[in-house]
Amino acid sequence: MGKKTIAKEGRAVHVHYKGTFEDGTVFDSSYDRGEAIEFTVGAGQMIPGFDAAVNGMKVGETKTVTLEPEQAYGEHNPEGIQAVPKQSFPENFEFEAGVVIEGNVQNQPVRGVINQIEEEFVVIDFNHPMAGKNLNFDIELVEVN
């Protein structure tokens, strides 16, 4: 049996990539870390558009794709911005705008950014930081297992 050279659903792959915003700013790069990422094609481990872009690639192939928000982290949802009572936080918590907070709501992990601080509450954006953004990826298929 020959070596697997095409990324297909269910196969584990190693991929190098560089992700950029529309203005060219790099938000993530496996090249910078010196290590390709590994995931199983079609298993839902990656954002949908990235997964779909890798499916069908051959080892050694490179491609550049632009993903709309619905293929990436979704649209920015205004309902994801919530006012949270300050008493929900630990007693000595220091509130600062722009700070990423993490916690649990109904035993589910949540993550958000403090947008503004009021007397009794803080306004937190629970949207993914890349929600609503187009993302560009340079992808290189390194290996198929």
- DSSP assignments along 73-138, one per residue: T----GGGEEEEEGGGS-TT----TT-EEEEEETTEEEEEEEEEE-SSEEEEE-S-TTTT--EEEE
Buried b (16+ CB within 10 A) or exposed e, 12-48: ebbbbbbbbeeeeeeeeebeeeeebbebebbeeebbe
With a cut of 60, say whether residue 114 has pLDDT above it.
yes
Give the pLDDT confidence score for residue 28 in this predicted structure.
97
The pLDDT of 120-135, averaged and rounded, is 96
pLDDT confidence of 118, banded at 50, 70, 90? very high
39, 15 contact by CB (below 8 A): yes
Going by pLDDT thresholds of 50, 70 and 90, the confidence category of residue 62 is very high
Confidence (pLDDT) at 104: 83
Provide the Cα torsion 18, 37, 63, 48; round to 10°. Answer: -100
Considering the four listed CATH numbers 3.40.50.720, 3.40.50.2300, 3.10.50.40, 3.10.129.10, the one that applies to the domain covering 12-74+130-144 is: 3.10.50.40
Check if the beta carbon of residue 22 is closer than 8 Å to that of residue 134: yes
Specify the pLDDT at position 2.
55
Per-domain residue ranges for the chain? 12-74+130-144, 78-125
Q: Is the pLDDT of residue 128 over 70?
A: yes
Quote the mean pLDDT of the chain.
95
Using DSSP bridges, classify how beta strands 81-85 and 26-29 pair: parallel, antiparallel or unpaired: unpaired
Give the C-alpha separation, 122 to 17, whole Å: 37
| pLDDT grade for 139, boundaries at 50, 70 and 90 | very high
pLDDT for 1 beyond 80:
no
The CATH class for the domain spanning 78-125 reads mainly beta
Instruction: For 65-100, write each residue's pLDDT tens digit.
Output: 999 999 999 999 999 999 999 999 999 999 999 999
pLDDT grade for 103, boundaries at 50, 70 and 90: confident
Q: Which two tokens stand for residue 85?
A: 């009572």
